[in-house]
Amino acid sequence: MKSLSENCKSLSGKKPIIIAIDGPAASGKSTTARLLAKRLGYLYLDTGAMYRALTWKVLKEGVDMRDKKSLAKLAKEIKIRLQSNDEMGSRVFLNGEEITFSIRSPQVNKYVSLVSMVKEVREEMVRRQREMGRKGGIVAEGRDIGTVVFPKALVKIFLTCSLEERVRRRWKEARERNSFLTKKEIKEELSRRDKLDREREFSPLRKAKDAIVLDNTFLSINETTERVLKIVKNSLQSINL
């Protein structure tokens, strides 16, 4: 019996597969995708970090959030580099400057959904993401991975989690970063982001028809990762039959 990693890399005798993980903010997508990629020896693609990097630049340059042409122009001009890191998932560099921690600020959290709503911005980011996944061997996470970016991904997971648990997780993360937002503030922000992500005109957050839903409200991050690994293994075995 081949190991999971061997099965992934030898699928169809050609190239490693693409695994797509979607879901709302604070549902555990990033950590799950990072741990899964590490287990498989795959590249971890944090697409949200790309939109956050752009948002950080928009805020730094004082670009009008309503000026779609300027946002699209900036999206095409900036250089974003993601570097895998076992502890942080991805180190993020914009035009050579590391902004890994800066893109997790409350300000970026507040505006990233607005920036990512712009059609031309999404088209540019999707183009870059597809190029990064061209050779397969990637675990990508975001909100439109299985529906838009990699619609032909072999494995698609849609992570869900109760709002209350997502608030608790984000509150815990905030305290660890010495950001003392209240749970009420975090709940309001997550609810606002959910609404924007689901109702935006281009690439809204939604489950792909062939995605497997995994509710991890009562699961630890390690339990979630194990469940996803099992789904991947089962998908590979069914195809190899």
Q: 29, 33, 53, 37: which is closest to 5 by C-alpha? A: 37
Which residue blocks in 116-177 are alpha helix, DSSP H?
119-132, 163-176
- Write down the pTM of the prediction: 0.86
List the CATH code of the domain at 4-240.
Answer: 3.40.50.300
**Using an 8 Å Cβ cutoff, are 58 and 98 in contact?**
no
- Cα 30 to Cα 203: distance, rounded to the nearest angstrom: 19
**What string of pLDDT tens digits covers the 241 residues of the chain?**
455 555 555 444 446 899 999 999 999 999 999 999 999 989 899 999 999 999 999 999 999 999 999 999 999 999 999 987 766 668 999 999 999 999 989 899 889 999 999 999 999 999 999 999 998 999 999 999 999 999 999 999 999 999 999 999 999 988 888 888 899 999 999 999 999 999 988 889 999 999 999 999 999 999 999 999 999 988 888 776 4
How far are the Cα atoms of 54, 55, 63, 203, 231 from residue 76, in angstroms, in the given order? 10, 13, 15, 19, 36
- Cα 99 to Cα 207: distance, rounded to the nearest angstrom: 30
What ranges do the domains of the chain cover? 4-240
- Cα 159 to Cα 56: distance, rounded to the nearest angstrom: 26
